[in-house]
A and B are shown apart, each in its own frame.
Chain A
Amino acid sequence: AQKVTQAQTEISVVEKEDVTLDCVYETRDTTYYLFWYKQPPSGELVFLIRRNSFDEQNEISGRYSWNFQKSTSSFNFTITASQVVDSAVYFCALSEAGSGNTGKLIFGQGTTLQVKP
């Protein structure tokens, strides 16, 4: 069965600190996608990144970076020099990518990040 675990329920940091959000996943599929979404207090989900299972290269986008390690089934997300506007709930998600793919996402429970000024 597919499962996504975000063990950190809440994280609180002071502005300009770096913070890493952990994500561990389980799947029997060899082909799959991993995602991160941001949910600000307004409620909408904002897509941040998609990574397929064959691409283990780390990615950096501005202050955001992602570390994908198949050996440990982890897809961690780091925010460098955090800002108050980064305060949100962050979700890691997993979906199948095979012929039976439905676009269905399996979400983790989310990590609430609070960045204090």
Chain B
Amino acid sequence: DGGITQSPKYLFRKEGQNVTLSCEQNLNHDAMYWYRQDPGQGLRLIYYSQIVNDFQKGDIAEGYSVSREKKESFPLTVTSAQKNPTAFYLCASSIDRAQPEHFGDGTRLSIL
């Protein structure tokens, strides 16, 4: 079955450390997105990519970086510059720009 796979499910970061969250999709979707969810809040867009080798900042891109070297992969790096990284991170994809219909199961990131 096609879908989006996020890994790991849980991730712990030490102070000053960069960590990378994986997002892979086998839906042949052009567009991919990263959202951050904080407790009791909706999702906020971090980065998005509409095509391979291209990506744009969302509303809260500071402290994060991404790459889109392959259509099926859109990894997110949480850098040490992100001072409050504890959150639930969701990756999504869509076949066009209409909207992200498919979401992964998420990665929960915590600070050690």
A residues at B contact (CB < 8 Å): 4, 9, 33, 35, 37, 42-47, 50, 91, 93, 95, 97, 101-105, 107-110
Contacts and interface: CB of A to CB of B under 8 A. Distances in A.
B103 A44 contact: yes
Contacts, number: 70
B106 A44 contact: yes
Given A102-B48, A103-B48, A47 B101 contact: yes
A102 B56 contact: yes
A105 B40 contact: no
Q: Classify the interface of chain B: helix, strand, loop or mixed.
A: strand
Interface residues of B, number: 29
A43 B56 CA distance: 25
A105 B99 contact: yes
A44 B100 CA distance: 13
B48 A104 contact: yes
A2 B13 CA distance: 33
Contacts of B90: 43-45
B50 interface: yes
B99 to A, nearest CB: 5
A42 B40 CA distance: 15
A37 B100 CA distance: 11
A48 to B, nearest CB: 10
A105 B96 CA distance: 13
